[in-house]
Structure 1
Amino acid sequence: MSNIENTKGSILSFGELLLRMCPDGEGQWLKSNKLPFFMGGAELNVANALALWEQPIKYFTALPDNALSEQIISYLESKSIDTSAIHHSGNRIGLYYLTRGKDVKNNAIVYDRAGSSFADLKPGMVNWDVVLEGVSWFHFSAICPALNQLAADVCEEVLQAASKKHITISVDLNYRPKLWQYGKKPVEIMPKLVQYADIIMGNVWAEETMLGIPVTPDMHESGQQSIYLKEGLYSSERIMDAYPRCRAVANTFRFDAGKGVEYYTSLYTGNRFYHSPTYTTETVVDKVGSGDCFMAGLIYGFYNKQDPQQLLDFATAAAFEKLFIEGDATTKRVDQIYNTMKQ
């Protein structure tokens, strides 16, 4: 039985809060003694968007018990994010460095998150019954289980607890190749976590890497949207066959062309396949967080029982708008996103 209708409680986003440091590519930051930073992390980006869109959002992460964490928590609360579930343990907040203007998937990214409070979580440390109280939707991503085996075990622990409470579960198959350094491949870990999910979001390449669903080898040769969408449908059907709990699969297709981007998405609900309009732009301000914004849009739509085509179009427009916003999270309100959809 699908849990997607269970939308009476709050939405809980689960994942590591990160501080993103943004040195410029020319090294000017060393001369000016200035290093711009943004607060983010995939699941926090989702929480920020949902809070901005006036949804009841709760955020779980782990932070050290110190003054810096207090400032961060106060800031999140000022954004209408419920921080009551945040766990205090460990000694440090995770960091990563990303050269300004570069894509999150290229070699410019440097992680400094080993030994962070979140990465050091272990099964049995958190009372999930307390964390999940009043929650009807639980969201996580593939980033948490990429950190280490214990983090993957914690992820499974909370998913089991959420499943027992009949909470709707969504997952974003974020693939970060610079993570997954503890001797396990994603396909060895993710299937047992994805089995709990009602809604699965990713792209066909991540689904191949994490779930073992093959991508047609010569798919790129045509470059035709119809071929990519057909591949999205095939992958979605295989996911639903393999994971009986899943009720919807969404895929993003983002293609970089020089400094520009072509972007569109798809959604499969088991009985119908939807795809979004295609967006193109020649300029991009910040690619970080666009996928998180799409995920937030999906949650927003399903949580509010929107029509599948409507919620897909909203999520896609929200993700596209994020490309023009500096920082990890969107600043666009619901009405502004609907205006984008009308253009």
Structure 2
Amino acid sequence: MGKVLSFGELLLRISPDGQGQWLQENKLAFYVGGAELNVATALALWGVPSAYLTALPENFLSEELLSYLNAKGIDTKPVVMQGDRVGIYYLPKGKDVKNAGVIYDRAGSAFADLKVGNIDWEAVFAGVSWFHFSAICPAINQNVADVCAEALAMAKAKGIQISLDLNYRAKLWKYGKEPVDIMPALAASCDLIMGNVWAANKMLGMPLQEELVQDIAKDKLVQHAQLTSKAIINQFPKCHTVANTFRFDHGQGIRYFTTLYTRNQLHISQEYVSEQILDKVGSGDCFMAGLIYGFQHQHSPEKTLEFATAAAFNKLFSLSDATTSTVADIEETMKTYAN
């Protein structure tokens, strides 16, 4: 099994409480995160050789962060050391990173300053069989979007499997380009694309049929997932697998299920419902990691989907950006919630 290389910006998440206690106590909860790092962390925890490529400044903080990641079994040798700062985002406890509550403080970060030619992709891809990135990277600026294109060209030439998470962050697309101007060209190099029907519409221009999504009925959403998955594969022939996640608020909790379309067949996961959760951040990243885990172990599409879905559901009960659930924990969840 070759290494899985995840590429993206390391971020520190700072989570003040909503009642102002952080001001009274001079104390802030924080977590080490970033969508792609969450994937790398999960894979390392599950025993998959995992490497991570980001950019960090040469300082004490970066040294501590790299030691932290190395202790988790993540290969950080590809990390580029440059620039002056680490990106930060602020998110009140209990909020979802996709919601308006997020405040980004990442302009001028080491990663945002990456340019074509900064990374020796020949060296970085040595021993790598899978390359993962998300749509958050090209959302930062045109230079980083160009670096993504540079990486994909090399990975494709080397026959490396490529996965893309269609993460949409409205607050990041601020450099004069819409996602649909950038993402289709990048998606054309990908073997596995994950997101949902709304993200596929916003980022890849896939048709959105309002009559199938307006009342979030499962049978209609599944029907739309199949239509969207086929449309993606038709437009991007290199893509052989499309995954969709469906996560909806359910009181104080969550209603969650997923689909996986591959080999002309749509697979539907069991549905998970919980009346209470702890942290929404990183659930989709955990699902992506679960897919990679399954495909790296050559599991069946059904087994891969159920593992990834259970992993994502488990993440909702962990106060961190990345999962802390082991393979055994996830398999136990699959048994507990089995229909």
TM-score, scaled relative to structure 1: 0.97
1:187 equivalent to 2:180? Answer: yes
**Structure 1 position 218, deviation (Å):** 2.5
Q: Which residue of 2 aligns with 1:5?
A: none
Q: Distance in 2 between matches of 1:323 and 1:73?
A: 26
Aligned positions of 1:34-45 closer than 5 A? 34-45=27-38
SS at match of 2:75: coil
Deviations 1:289-326 (A, max 9, x none): 00000000000000110000000000000000000000
- With 47-56 and 253-262 compared, the bigger mean Cα shift is at 253-262
Identical-residue share of aligned pairs (%): 57
One-letter code aligned to 2:193? I
Q: Distance in 1 between matches of 2:159 and 2:252?
A: 44
Q: Which residue of 1 aligns with 2:228?
A: 235
**Structure 1 position 161, deviation (Å):** 0.9
**Structure 1 position 223, deviation (Å):** 3.1
Aligned positions of 1:125-136 closer than 5 A? 125-136=118-129
Q: Which residue of 2 aligns with 1:291?
A: 284
Q: Which residue of 1 aligns with 2:152?
A: 159
Q: Distance in 2 between matches of 1:339 and 1:257?
A: 23
Q: Distance in 2 between matches of 1:223 and 1:38?
A: 32
1:15 equivalent to 2:23? Answer: no
Q: Which residue of 2 aligns with 1:121?
A: 114
Q: Distance in 1 between matches of 2:7 and 2:63?
A: 19
**Structure 1 position 26, deviation (Å):** 1.6
Q: Which residue of 1 aligns with 2:237?
A: 244
Structure 1: any 5+ residue segments left out of the alignment? 1-7
Q: CA RMSD in A?
A: 0.8
2:320 alignment partner, one of 323, 327, 334? 327
The answer as to whether partners of 1:19 and 1:95 remain within 8 angstroms in 2 is yes
Q: Distance in 2 between matches of 1:326 and 1:214?
A: 36
SS at match of 2:228: helix
Q: Which residue of 2 aligns with 1:3?
A: none
1:142 equivalent to 2:135? Answer: yes
1:318 alignment partner, one of 301, 311, 314? 311
Q: Distance in 1 between matches of 2:123 and 2:194?
A: 27
**Structure 1 position 107, deviation (Å):** 1.4
1:216 equivalent to 2:216? Answer: no
Q: Distance in 2 between matches of 1:132 and 1:209?
A: 31
The answer as to whether partners of 1:237 and 1:270 remain within 8 angstroms in 2 is no
The answer as to whether partners of 2:250 and 2:274 remain within 8 angstroms in 1 is no
**Structure 1 position 67, deviation (Å):** 1.1
Q: Which residue of 1 aligns with 2:60?
A: 67
**Structure 1 position 126, deviation (Å):** 1.1
Q: Distance in 1 between matches of 2:213 and 2:121?
A: 44
Q: Distance in 2 between matches of 1:297 and 1:134?
A: 21
Q: Which residue of 2 aligns with 1:200?
A: 193
**Structure 1 position 219, deviation (Å):** 2.5
**Structure 1 position 270, deviation (Å):** 3.4
SS at match of 1:218: helix
Q: Which residue of 1 aligns with 2:247?
A: 254
1:177 equivalent to 2:165? Answer: no
Q: Distance in 1 between matches of 2:100 and 2:19?
A: 15
Deviations 1:237-264 (A, max 9, x none): 0000000000100000001123111000
Q: Which residue of 2 aligns with 1:101?
A: 94
The answer as to whether partners of 2:197 and 2:228 remain within 8 angstroms in 1 is yes
**Structure 1 position 269, deviation (Å):** 0.4
SS at match of 1:54: coil
Q: Distance in 2 between matches of 1:129 and 1:186?
A: 28
SS at match of 1:251: strand
Q: Distance in 2 between matches of 1:110 and 1:59?
A: 25
1:300 equivalent to 2:290? Answer: no
**Structure 1 position 136, deviation (Å):** 0.7
Q: Distance in 1 between matches of 2:33 and 2:208?
A: 31
Q: Which residue of 2 aligns with 1:86?
A: 79
**Structure 1 position 157, deviation (Å):** 0.5
Q: Distance in 2 between matches of 1:328 and 1:319?
A: 12
The answer as to whether partners of 1:240 and 1:270 remain within 8 angstroms in 2 is no
Q: Which residue of 2 aligns with 1:263?
A: 256
Q: Distance in 2 between matches of 1:76 and 1:159?
A: 25
Deviations 1:197-217 (A, max 9, x none): 000000000000000012111
> Which runs of structure 1 show a deviation greater than 2 angstroms over 4 or more consecutive aligned residues?
218-223
